[in-house]
Amino acid sequence: MPVRARIVPILLALAFTAVGLAIPVASPARAAGPRVAIIVGPVGTLTSNYRARGDEVAAAAQAAGATVAKAYSPSATWANVKNAVNGADVVVYFGHGNGFPNPYSSGENTDRVNGWGLNRTTSNGDGDNWSTTMAYCGERALLGTLTSSDDTVRRSFCGGTVNDGITPAPGFVMIYGQAHYAPGFGERYEETDPIPTLGEGQQRVRNYSYPALRLGASAYFATAFGDADDIVTRVLMERTRTYGDIFREGRGFSSGALRTMAHPDVAGASVWVQQTVNGSMHFGDPDFWYAFAGNPDRRPDGTVAPAAPRITRLHPSASSSNAAADGVVTATFDQPMTGVTSSTFYLRRLSDLSVVPSAITYNAYWRRAELRANAPLSPGTTYVATVTSGMTSASSGRPITATSWRFTTASAVNGEVFSPAARLVFRQGTHTGYRFDSSGRVTAVRTLTLARDSGASAGSRESLSNQSGRWFSVVNGAWAGYWLRESPAVSLDTTASSAAESGVTVYDPERRLSIRQGTHTGYRFNAAGALVAELTSTLARDSGANTNVRRGLNNQFGTWFYVTNGVWAGYWLRESDVVGLP
């Protein structure tokens, strides 16, 4: 992730204040309570829906004793929004989001990204044409750092060079609802559009949260789950709970999907994202719908809780596919823990969720919970280990975040050593050999095309960590020192496969291709079957893609699938026990 030039040490936030809001709707319960500003930008035909969401937030805020200032389209101009936000303890924005990375520019244009889409004037209804009726007032507008070199739109409709930025209360909370980019998701309008990577999701939240945190916000929340009103209620009512706990109570929270990192631009802050499914949004594929930035240990009342305990190491590692069957499972923590018992640390067989009888101990020296099954685990079997929030910090009493992870034990016959070396057959065509480290990460790749069937010697056939299928270790020839995955095109001489199928199967509609965890290489060939391009990628878990053709290829052994979307879009993958139709 690129380092931003704007890095500065920012002291995060403190308490709510009682500075007055513009155009307030008074709450009879607490006239001097916190202030909540609600912005609804123009989003065309969706604006009525967003105004309704804004009203839900207003009702929740007033029920919690707050006064409310609204700036709704078609009156959500810069001047009206700036007036509403003045002195606000909570700022909620519904509308178009414009962030980075995005498909439109190679650089981050901070005059128009990481901010709000607002009405240019009050006379254009809810029109959201960014060229004529709406203006993206970005990071520099919010911070008040626009200059005379910025374009006419920003100078005319986002405060211009005399703008001193927005002025919410010290320690305010910024909440984005249904805005692209703010929680990490982008503009994915076709199913073939790539799904954002973790790095892209994190960078978008990092960027979008920066102006709020730079202005002194104590927390940043972004949600696409329609629960901005619930977040406002928790921020206003649960003033002694940490922001991290408030985030975990969110409608879309998933402990297993949560990924955290230190905020690169804001000292003491973190960026939390998670890639999950949100109903049918983005074709039911996982994306980044819920995010937080700030100090997760800070509370709305301005105090800071002791750091919550964290798990620093799991054994076996999550998603391990070649775990030992000795039945030893451990979780290591960053601080001393209490409450380590059979009810807070247990192991289950995935197939029937039966609990594996085990002894549980706590190693105080290593700060490690240790589970030892009473009997060896079954080979080739998937298990789920769970640490519950019943474990707590010995010093602060704060609970650990509940965590579950899966691993699969090695097959009964994990490997075969051939002595003398066994004869291996490579069928005509293109093959890729790999070198891996002990964790199954690729360290070297060698791709060659054979004009005819060939062979070499294999020293062993084994399962490898985090790689699907079985692999031959080649001891001589072009791939000496490399691993090749067993398939119809790479096999022992005694089990050599038959020739390639010559038929062509066209799938209309396209079929879903199953691609197993591990490293795979896709190829592009010319009409004669000569290699013209290759693409190697490693899947952390089983995945898939669409295919529209299954056929044999000239001078290439086996049958091949043509991939139409995802990582290998436009490439051929050879059919095998790890690449095929479900």
The two structure tokens encoding residue 477: 């020839």
Q: What is the pLDDT of residues 471-524, one digit of tens each?
A: 888 888 899 888 999 888 898 875 433 333 446 787 778 889 989 888 999 999
Check residue 322 and give its pLDDT: 75
Do the Cβ atoms of 57 and 92 come closer than 8 Å? yes
Q: Residue 19's pLDDT is what? A: 29
267-305 tens-digit pLDDT: 999 999 999 999 999 999 999 999 999 999 999 999 998
Burial 444-472 (b: 16+ CB within 10 A, else e): eeeeeebeeeeebbbbbbbbbbbbbbbbb
Give me the percent of the chain exceeding a pLDDT of 70: 91
pLDDT at 28: 35
Peptide bond between residue 357 and the one before it cis (omega within 30 degrees of 0)? no
Confidence band for 11, pLDDT divided at 50, 70 and 90: very low
* CA 393/CA 402 separation, integer angstroms: 13
In Å, what is the CA distance from 40 to each residue of 75, 82, 125, 511? 9, 13, 12, 42
Question: Residue 419 has what pLDDT?
Answer: 66
- Which tens digit of pLDDT belongs to each residue from 527-545? 888 899 999 999 988 889 9
State the Cα angle at 547 between 274 and 564, rounded to 5°.
65
6 falls in which pLDDT band (50, 70, 90)?
very low
Average pLDDT over residues 27-35: 59
Residue of 214, 250, 248 whose CA lies nearest to 232: 250
Cis peptide, bond prior to residue 509, ω within 30 of zero = yes
Among 22-31, 242-251, 361-370, 463-472, the range scoring the smallest mean pLDDT is 22-31
Q: Match 């706990």 to its residue by tokens.
A: 245
Cβ neighbours of 256 (radius 10 Å): 12
- Rounded to an integer, the average pLDDT of 548-565 is 89
pLDDT of 345 above 80: yes
User: What's the chain's average pLDDT?
Assistant: 88
pLDDT in tens, 124-135: 999 999 999 999
State CA 504 to chain mean position distance. 38
CB of 95 closer than 8 Å to CB of 110: no
Residue 158 has pLDDT above 90, yes or no: yes
The Cα 329–Cα 341 span in angstroms is: 14
Q: What pLDDT band is residue 243 in, cutting at 50, 70 and 90?
A: very high
pLDDT at site 414: 55
Q: Give the 3-state secondary structure of residue 372.
A: strand
Please give the pLDDT value at position 481: 85
The answer to whether residues 453 and 544 touch, using CB atoms and an 8 Å cutoff, is no
Half-sphere exposure of 186 (CA within 13 A, CB side): 22
Task: Look at residue 421 and give its three-state secondary structure.
Answer: strand
Cα 580 from chain centroid?
A: 27
- pLDDT tens digits along 61-113: 999 999 999 999 999 999 999 999 999 999 999 999 999 999 999 999 999 99
What is the structure's pLDDT at 415?
65
Sign, Cα dihedral of 111, 112, 116, 122: positive
Dihedrals phi, psi of 439, to nearest 5 degrees: -95, 0
What pLDDT score was predicted for residue 32? 64
